[in-house]
Structure 1
Amino acid sequence: MRDVASILPLAVDAVSFLGDGRRLIDGLSFDMPAGGLAVLLGPNGAGKSLTLRLCHGLLTPSQGRIRWAAGAEGRSRRHAMVFQKPIMLRRSVEANIAHALAAAGISGSERRDRARDALARFGLSERATQAARLLSGGEQQRLAIARAWALRPELLFLDEPTSQLDPAATRQIEELLSGLVAEGITVLMSTHDLGQARRLASRVLFLHRGRLIEDASAQSFFAQPASPEARAFLAGELIW
């Protein structure tokens, strides 16, 4: 189903990003090996969304490099991103998935099969012909994840995927994400929800003012954060 060689690990090497005359990301370095769900945590303005966009290639680092596994540049792109507010095309639910597949160069017959598999996998088959923009917020986020899943990514980037959802829709998305990780998809996501991070994360990357302050297992981060910034954040005392 996929090329034999993996695009992972992803290596972020001393990456900085400048914007509006300021250093918004400052010397960021970490690796993303295959497997698990890593969470980017930090207060507003810490650089979580920027980090995801840099990794996905939507932004170019001002300094440093972002590298995929050796030779990955010559293979098909196998990473996808889902944004905080899903972008829905003025098309049906199924056509939204088919459009993404067409843009990725997937042929007509395979495109139809993949789109229908994605609809079934994410509980949207009965909505296939409905206008995507008429879906509820939770359904739109499910569609956005289904659209990304249909591309068969090895690594999925998620930017605050449940921040605008009610508790029931949030629970659905969390269950889907756990299922994706169980399928072998690696996930890097940002969230402000500490409870969600505790429930889902195997690893925490804690950012503050564009710098990586801690990179630890979720268990050790929540049990005994190593930095004063992380301790203040978990106590609700680090706002910016």
Structure 2
Amino acid sequence: MSRTAMAPAPGTPLFSLHAVEVRFGQVQALAATHLAIHAGERVALIGANGSGKSSLLRMLHGLVPHAAGVFVSRVPRKAQAMLFQRPHMLRASVRNNVALALWLHGAPWRLAQREAVAALRRVGLAELEGRNARTLSGGQQQRMALARAWALHPDVLLLDEPTASLDPTAKREVEALIAEAAQGRTLVFASHNLGQVKRLASRVIYLEHGRVLADLPVQDFFGGPLPAEARLFVKGELV
């Protein structure tokens, strides 16, 4: 399925956040956040549970509103795809789970079916296309969800802990597919796996209690001085 979108002018961020806040009732998920994400970057969001990683990803994707500040997205929703830690599986075949996403994006149903099979082939699930998606293993579900996102030909991939609940073999398989899918795209992903961050990211953003405490190229984050909180997190000593 082809898609045409107006690209931002060279040097213009895809996403711009200025003093952005996100709240859920009395809970402040993001506080006074300043960020700019440009095309082609591979940005890792790290931090403890509750640090604001998922809230930031969901706000970038338009799933939660910001309560204060200025947020500018120059990426149409149809040019983005988001992969959740526990992807939703419809009570339908693996093929139709992927095809429905394409159909909702405007593809005729027959074309959506063909492209769904092609996407499943890329992630090694073509032989399971007729199985009920809810019977897949955790790793297979993540591969199917990645095929569903990949088939949309997005400019931006947003991934929320895509390998957190998987066994080591499935982690490696899904990570390799993410690396392939990210080629020529902008990638923003949350992860607790620091080895994965080193392998996939070009830039690391460390969040704590909804605030950005470090924002550095990956080689500087792991090889240079860090704020005390980020240093403790990297050493596995943050309570």
Identity within the alignment, %? 41
TM-score scaled by length of structure 1:
0.92
1:208 corresponds to which residue?
208
TM-score (norm 2): 0.92
Residue equivalent to 2:132: 131
Tell me how far apart the structure 2 counterparts of residues 191 and 225 of structure 1 sit (CA, whole Å). Answer: 21
Gap runs ≥5 in structure 2: none
* In structure 2, distance between residues paired with 1:169 and 1:135: 13
Q: CA deviation at 1:4?
A: 5.1
1:27–1:211 CA contact under 8 A, matched in 2? yes
Q: Please, which of 56, 61, 65 is the counterpart of residue 56 of structure 1? A: 61
**Count of residues in Structure 1 that have an aligned counterpart in Structure 2:** 234
| Cα distance in 1, alignment partners of residues 113 and 70 from structure 2 | 37
Alpha-carbon separation, structure 2, partners of 1:177 and 1:31: 22
Post-superposition Cα deviations, 1:18-75, rounded to whole Å, max 9, x if no partner, equal: 2231322101121111114211001111101111111111100001232123xx55xx
Partner of 1:33: 38
Unaligned segments of structure 1, at least 5 residues: none
Q: Which residue in 2 is equivalent to 1:108? A: 109
What is the alpha-carbon root mean square deviation over aligned residues?
Answer: 1.6
CA contact (8 A) 2:15 2:72 kept: yes
2-side partners of 1:220 and 1:17: how far apart? Answer: 28
Q: Tell me what 2:143 maps to.
A: 142
How far the C-alpha of 1:178 sits from its partner, in A, is 1.0
Alignment check: 8 A CA contact 2:205 2:215 kept: yes
Q: Is 1:192 aligned with 2:192?
A: yes
**Any idea what SS the aligned residue of 1:163 has?**
coil
The Cα offsets for residues 117-154 of structure 1, whole Å up to 9 and x where unpaired, read as 21111111101101111111101000011101111111
CA distance in 2, matches of 1:161, 1:37: 15
**CA separation in 1, counterparts of 2:208 and 2:179?**
27
Is the 2:60–2:73 Cα contact (8 Å) retained in structure 1? no
1:218 matches 2:223: no
Cα distance in 2 for residues equivalent to 1:45 and 1:149: 28
- How far the C-alpha of 1:179 sits from its partner, in A, is 0.7
* Amino acid in structure 2 at the alignment position of 1:40: L
Cα distance in 1, alignment partners of residues 35 and 144 from structure 2? 30
Q: In the aligned structure 1, how far is the partner of 2:100 from the partner of 2:117?
A: 13
- Opposite residue 185 of structure 2, the aligned amino acid is I
SS of the counterpart of 1:77?
helix
